[in-house]
Amino acid sequence: MIYKKQPGVPKFECTEYSEKAKDYVVLIPIINEGDRIIKELKRAYKYHVSEYADIVICDGGSNDGCTEESALRKLQVNTLLVKQDTGKQGAQLRMGIWWALERGYKGIITIDGNNKDSIEDVPHFIEKLKEGYDLVQGSRFVKGGKAINTPFIRSASVKLIHAPVISLTAHQRFTDTTNAYRAYSARYLRDERVQPLRDIFMTYELLAYLSVRATQIGYRACEIPVTRAYPKTGKTPTKISFFKGNSELMKILFKNLFGAYKPR
């Protein structure tokens, strides 16, 4: 099924392999992740993640075969959403969030599709949502979390720059603020003071904004331990280029600090 572009939501194609089965959904934004997403889905299958939440792929237009239908079905993916519009991760997440809210999920978990994160921890995010938290941030830097082979520059930039600025903006301390492995309650995302479905969120703006808006308006937020593991050798799996990508992240970080993304 094709969903036409609407304000705040890109045009996208939806292929449902199964009907809604759970109260919670895992959204996995990807583009050309190759065998990394397959390995991640195999981990989800091994740890029975689909018994806790529906698994949905939010594809940015992959052409490397990583979204082949038979493989996704076999690995218990519930639905494939394919963006057919402009924008990067932010647009993919807006597509997924709109669709998930329309489908009636109580909460949304997001996780990167490059097999760096412990997808087996999804049930712990759901536990916190059920306890009444509206933003649950995964962190490799809290007690019980594991940071494996994290490049020094990434660890330093998160601990010394990104996390302090996000914490200042949110009025609550967070430790792993570039980590997209987190959960949101539907009530938080539906709040008129939040409005995540806006076209200003094209790249990484939405992650930064949703990290701080919850506590700014009185919702409960917490961190839980997760594992983020980088490969020992070879290219670091990331879509953020060292110079241009990181400079854009810094611009977003400080625009967020000064309220650029708040609804007008």
Domain coordinates of the chain in residue numbers? 2-257
C-alpha 35: how far from its chain's center?
Answer: 19
For the stretch 88-116, pLDDT in tens is 999 999 999 999 999 999 999 999 999 99
Quick check: pTM over 0.85? yes
Looking at residue 247, what is its pLDDT? 82
Task: Report whether pLDDT(32) > 70.
Answer: yes
For the stretch 187-200, pLDDT in tens is 999 999 999 999 99
**Cβ-contact 37, 113 below 8 angstroms:** yes
Q: With bands split at pLDDT 50, 70 and 90, how would you rate the model's confidence at 232?
A: confident
Write the CA distances from 136 to 101, 110, 238, 263, integer angstroms.
Answer: 18, 10, 23, 22
Q: How high is the mean pLDDT of the chain?
A: 95
Q: How many CB atoms lie within 10 A of CB 230?
A: 17
Which of the four CATH numbers 3.90.550.10, 3.20.20.140, 3.30.70.20, 2.40.30.20 does domain 2-257 have? 3.90.550.10
